[in-house]
Chains A and B, each alone.
Chain A
Amino acid sequence: MNDGNATLAAPDMEGLKPGFTEPVFEAQEAFRTVLNTLSYAGRVHTLETELDPPAPLDPAMAAMALTLFDFDTPVWLDAAIADGAAPDFLRFHCGAPLVAAEGEARFAVVANLSKMPPLDRFAIGEDRYPDRSATLLIQVPSLTGGPAMTWRGPGIDGAITVAIAGLPADFWAQWADNHALYPLGVDVIFAAGRALVGLPRGIQVEG
């Protein structure tokens, strides 16, 4: 599904799951939650959504996709997501082009953490346009059950302890490199079930 031609294939309408029932209001509510998530970095926010997205997408991941993706946003899917019904779901409801190269994506959707590409494969922006960088939506098993790390930076009153579970062993080393690029770099939103935690590039993380 990740080769360039797949974008043109007709979606399988048979097994297609529905998107938002009230797109205007559900997208607005989801956006406010995502805005709060990235603004108050490190805090767990919960989305009130009744979405039943195709596996392996969690409701929070699908809600972010339906809220933020459209024809303007090339999207990169990891293999775990690209193999199932999710690509048809995203293509039909968002109309977003799916791209095979990580560096071309505005959004990346990651569910298989063991095979997650290194952060530096994604667009980090340009020195005059640091906003032209990727936002990674990473689905994790839990937002509270992992090793405790101390986060500091804009959006955090002093420091906050966050325990994201299931990340690759060298993720935080990669994150330190990403943070060092500030104001360039990627931004991350972690999701588990209906819950979200934001990790914008300005956040410094210590073990």
Chain B
Amino acid sequence: MNAVVEKASWDEAYNFAYLDEQTKRMIRRALLKAVAIPGYQVPFGGREMPLAYGWGTGGMQVTASVIGPSDTLKVIDQGADDTTNAVSIRRFFKRVAGVATTEATEEASVIQTRHRIPEKPLKEGQVLVYQVPQPEPLRKLEPRETETRKMHGYAEYGLMHVRLYEDISRFGHIATTYSYPVMVNGRYVMSPSPIPKFDNPKMENNPAIQLFGAGREKRIYAIPPYTSVKSLDFDDHPFEVQRWPQACALCGARDSYLDEVVLDDKGGRMFVCSDTHFCADRQEKGHRGPMAADPAAGAFARSSDTSARKEGER
């Protein structure tokens, strides 16, 4: 303990990890209740962070309450370690907590994420912190918090099934592709945050601790390790994840989540892994996709995928 503390160095104009100790205690108590009631949204006194709402203030408050000098932090934004949101949050914690940072999923003890779960399976003891814009899965169906509270309290989730059924009646399949609602521990319907439904199966029985922070909405929730997390579906329309006919253009992976990148104005496009560390790691190990030899494609994918991805969001 003492050796780590003596070595800890951060910008001491701030308390360690930015938040004051009373705020951390309040958030820590909320986290413990969140872990004890998987999928239930615990209200907490969300603080202003030096970042606009919508940029991960909830996730940052959770990370700040959890992180210590011996932790190694990884921050991803849509799977990428090198995009604006990820870079600025990583730099924030380097400054206010002095922690080591990494891009390697397996080396990180705390991973803050926006909208993806890393491709590499997580291990016991790792903490995955999700940034959540809207924690209430029922909000688009029922705008009143007093009502959604009751619906969760009485496990009254018929409305959500009606929404999924309406998808089937209009499109022939469940058209929800991200923020796909899940049932946690057989009791609470929970928003997985806007991760693609491709990532939903990774939440179930995960050995890591999954914590969710919504700063604007001031809610914290959690999935403890080895917990049942079922994506809602129907017997005759079972839950399915996205599949691509292509492999990743750079590393050739067929089992990862792919982003589409437009290359030129003549219809040129390629599909690359959204998890940049996973993709780079595979390339280092000698895996090659169909466009790996094309340096322009590689450079383009690295520099422009951020803006291409973010367009869909805002």
Contact = CB atoms under 8 A, between A and B. Distances in A.
Interface stretch (B19-27, B132-140, B241-249): B19-27
Interface in A61-75: 67-68, 70, 72-73
Given A68-B29, A128-B149, A154-B224, A35 B209 contact: yes
B224 A155 contact: yes
Nearest to B38: A154
A130 B25 contact: no
B153 interface: yes
Interface stretch (A21-29, A77-85, A163-171): A21-29
Given A36-B125, A39-B224, A182 B42 contact: no
Interface in B7-21: 8, 15-17, 21
Given A25-B1, A200-B35, A183 B40 contact: yes
Interface in A32-51: 32, 34-36, 38-41, 48
B28 A202 contact: no
A104 interface: no
Contact of A29 (B1, B30, B150): B1
Interface residues of B, number: 52
A72 B5 contact: no
A206 interface: no
A26 B15 contact: no
A29 B68 contact: yes
B124 A40 contact: yes
Contacts, number: 123
Contacts of A55: none
A201 interface: yes
A59 to B, nearest CB: 13
Given A25-B8, A36-B125, A155-B227, A182 B187 contact: yes
A183 B34 CA distance: 11
Interface string A87-131: 000000000000000000010000000000000000000111111
A172 interface: no
Given A25-B8, A29-B68, A35-B35, A68 B21 contact: no
Interface residues of A, number: 43
B226 interface: yes
Interface string B89-106: 000000000000000000
B37 interface: yes
B28 A39 contact: no
B186 to A, nearest CB: 10
B276 to A, nearest CB: 28
A58 interface: no
Given A25-B1, A131-B37, A187 B32 contact: yes
A139 interface: no
A39 B225 contact: yes
Contacts of B127: 35
B209 A25 contact: no
A1 B29 CA distance: 26
A39 B209 contact: yes
Contacts of A158: 226
A131 B32 CA distance: 9
A156 B15 contact: no
Given A25-B1, A183-B40, A73 B124 contact: no
A162 B6 CA distance: 37
A158 B152 CA distance: 27
A54 to B, nearest CB: 22
Contacts of B183: none
Contact of A25 (B25, B38, B68): B68
6 contacts: A24-B15, A28-B67, A31-B28, A73-B29, A127-B154, A183-B37
Given A131-B43, A154-B227, 16 more contacts: A25-B8, A28-B16, A31-B28, A31-B65, A38-B35, A38-B36, A40-B124, A70-B22, A70-B25, A73-B29, A129-B149, A130-B40, A155-B226, A158-B226, A202-B36, A202-B185
